[in-house]
Amino acid sequence: MASYRDSSIVQFNQENSRLCNERVKLSCILGIILVPLFGLLDFVIVPEKFFYFLSIRCMASFILVIILILSYMQIGKSYPSTLGFAAYVVVGLAISMMIRDFGGYESSYYAGLNLLFLAMG
């Protein structure tokens, strides 16, 4: 009876890891597309900082590409939640840098950070 229970736990952990890895891949793909795409708002809201913010966005997207590549490797299959957390931190830091450079919590970028908290959670 213990072996049945142990095999169920192993199957659950494997399925949970697989689903987490799929969600990491989806999150990275969405981030790679949406993070630079929201740069169009930078052009409207703060045209004087457009290229600076675009460089932050491109760097975040580049790191997300690396995380996406890692998610297809064995390390990504072994540690999918760590890669998901890394993707979350990368985008969060990018938005935080833009908030810092444009008005703090009163800026419209603060809403983007709240959106990240809701979407990635």
Which regions in the chain score pLDDT beneath 50?
A: none
Mean pLDDT of the chain: 88
Could you tell me which of 65, 57, 68, 60 has the C-alpha nearest to residue 89?
60
Give pLDDT, residue 71. Answer: 95
Alpha helices in the chain (DSSP H): 2-37, 39-45, 50-71, 74-78, 80-100, 109-120
The pLDDT, as a whole number, for residue 114 is 83
Which residue, among 81, 75, 79, has the nearest Cα to 27 in the 3D structure?
81
- Confidence (pTM): 0.86
| Confidence (pLDDT) at 36 | 93
